[in-house]
A and B are shown apart, each in its own frame.
Chain A
């Protein structure tokens, strides 16, 4: 089953084409790496897929809902976590989960059950009642992940989820992604860490509003004769018009 389907998706702002006829599909349970330089149009695509911005033309559907016509249904069925913290720092992890569960319309029983599951799963027993603001960044990242997946969405958008996090916490974060994807959750991830690009099942690289390549990390490296994803990225994004400016 395709969880995300995008066909010729386009967004223009005045005379500027931010996203130019982008097409791709993401399968259920897939970890899809959505890469590109600053200003390539990644955020615009994510905002359209989350039902926050109407496309100028083209089609997009997320979990079967059309992003232009069924934006509210899209929002109910996705999870979202960004580099900027969306947690309430003066609430505890459990209170944050209760709040977000409530917003997504879960009842008390569902919330309690899910909270216990997640606390156990992510090893947050010790920190469950501490204020989020007092927790180390690596732990906060875990809580933010827990909150973004709390209402059991089929697809989760992670926008630079590990920016600035220490190398070990970064890896633990990816292990959480792996575990959830193993159980069928689909992930749509952006990152500036090129080693993390290698953790994805497939990757697209966006340059100046279009997707230049889309394949598995292994095949991309082979096709470009590159040893790492960083080299592939440098070759492709280095040709951007924006970079020349």
Chain B
């Protein structure tokens, strides 16, 4: 116990502290959602929680936003305990849940006004905070939220999460199901918010978005596999990774799966990714171009997943 308090004192930059948090759900099919999670997120950081559905991302978000109790461990937000100080925490954080949770039959403006009212403030008082995002929505302010496109709904949800000027923002899969162009735009908005010194914890199943974070945690099956800056995660990749291209990548993959000199093989875009055991780079398939490549975050994730399952 004393050890983590000391760590917190030494590490003054840390604004979200998570210590050995575990959570499971009872029921006909019991699920272990989180297993002994510890994380420190720094002030002003854009921190990404990267992992697929069912990894435990939402459980962790709900514990941090005081909506769910952990079975074990504890967590604090800027020194406030998520259990004892839950009322206080709710004043200072913004939370955008994974499911679109605005009122579909209220207009854009009514939704925003509602959230401002709940927090005892007004749209006018905090307009500077949301103006770059709300500016794009303003022409549709009388449209019902249910009638907005996917990208626009996300923008409105972000405005509603920001209207009480929180200094810590929790965004649970804000870009899931959103097309690549709108996703890019959304991340530009997050970078702009970071410039206003807001700490942002964001989760995503899209591994390509990891590169846009200051630091990331790779989470799978309730466990954190690695925490680091995206570039460092890539530097930590323990193998030499190769790409191969054939006229028929599926046939190539079937072939290499039969070979015993290959540790990892999977399709990726227009190529097959390969990790060889030792230095035996033999491939029993005609006309192969083989080239060493730098891993992506997704390659790192796949390697770590395999590590966990072995």
A, B assembled together = yes
- B-contacting residues of A (Cβ < 8 Å)? 36-40, 83, 131, 133-134, 136-137, 160, 163-169, 171, 174-175, 178-179, 182, 192-195, 198-199, 217-218, 228-230, 233-234, 237-238, 240, 242-243, 245
Residue of B nearest to A207 (CB): B181
Bound Cα distance A4, B9 (Å): 65
Asked if A167 contacts B298 (CB within 8 A), the reply is yes
CB of A238 to closest CB in B, whole Å: 5
Between A and B, 21 residue pairs with Cβ closer than 8 Å are A38-B182, A39-B150, A39-B151, A133-B28, A136-B54, A164-B205, A165-B205, A167-B301, A168-B266, A168-B302, A171-B267, A192-B178, A198-B269, A199-B267, A234-B181, A234-B184, A238-B181, A243-B181, A243-B185, A245-B140, A245-B152
Residue of A nearest to B182 (CB): A38
A36-B179, A238-B181, A245-B139 known; A164+B52 contact, CB < 8 A: yes
CB of A138 to closest CB in B, whole Å: 8
- B176's partner among A163, A194, A237, A238 (CB-CB below 8 A) is A163
- A192's partner among B51, B53, B139, B180 (CB-CB below 8 A) is B180
**Contacting residues of chain B (180-230) with chain A, CB-CB under 8 angstroms:** 180-185, 205-208, 220
CB of A15 to closest CB in B, whole Å: 15
Asked if A39 contacts B149 (CB within 8 A), the reply is yes
CB of A88 to closest CB in B, whole Å: 14
Residue of B nearest to A244 (CB): B136
Bound Cα distance A119, B200 (Å): 44
B305 within 8 A of A: yes
Asked if A134 contacts B29 (CB within 8 A), the reply is yes
A136-B54, A167-B302, A195-B268 known; A175+B253 contact, CB < 8 A: yes
Residue of A nearest to B151 (CB): A38
B238 within 8 A of A: no
Asked if B149 contacts A233 (CB within 8 A), the reply is no
Asked if B182 contacts A230 (CB within 8 A), the reply is no
Asked if A218 contacts B270 (CB within 8 A), the reply is yes
- Chain A residues whose CB sits within 8 angstroms of the CB of B51 once the complex forms: 166
B177 within 8 A of A: yes
Lowest 3 A-B CB distances belong to which pairs?
Answer: A166-B52, A134-B29, A164-B53
- Chain A residues whose CB sits within 8 angstroms of the CB of B29 once the complex forms: 131, 133-134
Bound Cα distance A31, B40 (Å): 45
Bound Cα distance A10, B29 (Å): 47
**Contacting residues of chain B (141-157) with chain A, CB-CB under 8 angstroms:** 149-152
Asked if B266 contacts A171 (CB within 8 A), the reply is yes
B250 within 8 A of A: yes
A39-B150, A195-B268, A198-B269 known; A165+B53 contact, CB < 8 A: yes
Asked if B267 contacts A175 (CB within 8 A), the reply is yes
CB of B205 to closest CB in A, whole Å: 5
**Contacting residues of chain B (22-80) with chain A, CB-CB under 8 angstroms:** 28-29, 51-55
Asked if A37 contacts B52 (CB within 8 A), the reply is no
- A163's partner among B177, B183, B267, B268 (CB-CB below 8 A) is B177
- A182's partner among B55, B207, B250 (CB-CB below 8 A) is B250
Residue of B nearest to A170 (CB): B52
CB of B188 to closest CB in A, whole Å: 13
**Contacting residues of chain B (290-310) with chain A, CB-CB under 8 angstroms:** 298, 301-302, 305-306
Given A38-B177, A166-B305, A178-B250, 8 further pairs, Cβ under 8 A? A36-B179, A37-B182, A168-B302, A192-B178, A195-B268, A233-B180, A233-B181, A238-B181
CB of A122 to closest CB in B, whole Å: 16
- Chain B residues whose CB sits within 8 angstroms of the CB of A83 once the complex forms: 177
A137-B54, A174-B267, A234-B184 known; A38+B250 contact, CB < 8 A: no
**Contacting residues of chain B (124-141) with chain A, CB-CB under 8 angstroms:** 136, 139-140
